[in-house]
Amino acid sequence: MNAPTHPPRSFRVEPGGRLSGRLRVPGDKSISHRSVILGALADGVTRVTGFLEGADALSTRDALRALGAHIEGPDHGVLRIQGVGVDGLRAAPGAIDCGNAGTAMRLLIGLLSGQPFASVLVGDESLTRRPMRRVVDPLALMGARIETRDGCPPVHVFAAPGGLRAIRYEMAIASAQVKSALLLAGLYAAGTTEVREPAPTRDHTERMLGGFGVRIARDGPWARLDGGQRLRATDIDVPGDISSAAFFLVGASIAEGSDLTLEHVGVNPTRTGVLDILRAMGADITLEREREVGGEPVADLRVRGARLRGIEVPPEWVPLAIDEFPAIFVAAACAHGRTVVTGAEELRVKESDRIAAMAEGLCALGADARATADGMVIEGRGDEHTPFRGARLASRGDHRIAMALSLAALRCTGEITVDDTANVATSFPDFVALARRSGLGVSEIGSA
């Protein structure tokens, strides 16, 4: 059965203000997902600190529990995983509910395609509309037997007749989820699985597999691993999620007089497109205390208010900032001049059509934003201290749309109300508390 619906909630945000102080945003969602999956496959006990206690990551934890892994926590971000080994998973007693977590579902499809039992993956209403063929089709080339409903969930994964076989696969689109699903399946395939991505995407799976003792080769756009390898338990410290930090990076950049430091944020070079884009727009962002934690680069990010300018975003930067574009669009609307984003058609198949949702929201605020097939053209109004007017906005049930539109209140003449915000808990359960602490006048209310 599908995940229960959340009670209706809204954000009410007072106009104006600036952001200041020091914050630590929640743990990286991508790394949290992968830590549970690989920890469950390892021999021994894996201890995870900084785990994101949001609904999406908890869906992955619950899925691996259903598949036989013994997982304690999280308790203040600490998770203890007693791995069952690569061959120790067992059939879940019923359908595995992924809630709203598209990452969880796509990675689990890859993992489960190599198991000697059948599984069913379901999700909430939003997830049932998200495309899965991009994962299912290449897995079928490996011998996987998977059935969907017109390419969308629910997903039925059956034991592959004769097991999986390794393939050499060149992805048509840049997707870390597709790449990761194929690498997880590759652990169970006979031979060497090779995956080529057309543009760099987040490489948390490759880094973490190496941390668990898997021999994985990375050669430019190619990732290669041999099937049949075992994983050794390890400790993982999850850094702050740069996708969550992005809302505060934009908020502080657009609000004059802001001076905010975001502590212990992951700055993996496959995730820092948002820093490149905002800096190209003139943002004042510096990296402090740069270091490496568990194979992942980490830094404190200090951001101060700045005069932003519109840019044409290089298409090769887009995959490195795909989840951050709702916030980037707000920055563009506050910039001087035109911002053009192309090559971002992936945004149309996220939790919502993020291109349409942000164009609708920005226009309701009085911004000049025009959606295109693969991006947006925004005529910034940075010459105005308050380029936006107050409005009631629809998030379309998308956590990133809700948080991005909330930050626009910093440059508004009137109050903003953002409806349907319950799903913010999927990635950032403490958003309201941290945003208020930094200076944003946001409160959570029951929807009318």
Q: Is the pTM of this model over 0.85?
A: yes
Task: Note the CATH architecture for domain 29-237.
Answer: Alpha-beta prism (3.65)
**Hunting for tokens 């929807």 — which residue is that?**
447
The whole-angstrom distance between residue 174's C-alpha and the CA centroid of its chain comes to 14
Task: Name the active-site residue from 28, 124, 323, 419.
Answer: 323
Residue ranges of the chain whose pLDDT lies below 70: 1-7, 447-448
Residues 207-217: tens digit of each pLDDT? 999 999 999 99
| Residue 116 CB neighbours (<10 A) | 12
Beta strands in 250-310 (DSSP E): 259-266, 284-293, 296-304
Residue 124 bears catalytic tag: no
d(CA 42, CA 214): 10
Query: Which stretch of DSSP H or E encloses residue 343?
Result: none
Question: 27 near 79, Cβ under 8 Å?
Answer: no
pLDDT, position 6: 54
Domain 9-27+239-446, classified CATH 3.90.1010.10, yes or no:
no
d(CA 66, CA 373): 40
d(CA 21, CA 302): 10
* Tally: H helices and E strands in the chain: 12, 27
Strands of 235-237's sheet in order across: 70-75, 78-82, 45-49, 235-237
Q: Secondary structure of the chain: what % helix, strand, coil (to 5)?
A: 35, 30, 35
- CA–CA distances in Å: residue 231 to residues 37, 45, 84, 109, 175: 11, 11, 10, 19, 24
Question: 92 near 105, Cβ under 8 Å?
Answer: no
Show the tokens assigned to 429.
């359960």
d(CA 112, CA 110): 6
Three-state SS for 25?
coil
Q: Where are the domains of the chain?
A: 9-27+239-446, 29-237
Query: Which stretch of DSSP H or E encloses residue 237?
Result: strand 235-237
Residue 255 carries which side chain, given as an amino acid letter?
Answer: A
Question: 301 near 245, Cβ under 8 Å?
Answer: yes
Judge whether 9-27+239-446 and 29-237 match in fold. Answer: yes
Give the chain's end-to-end CA distance (angstroms, integer). 28
Strands of 96-97's sheet in order across: 96-97, 119-122, 152-158, 145-149
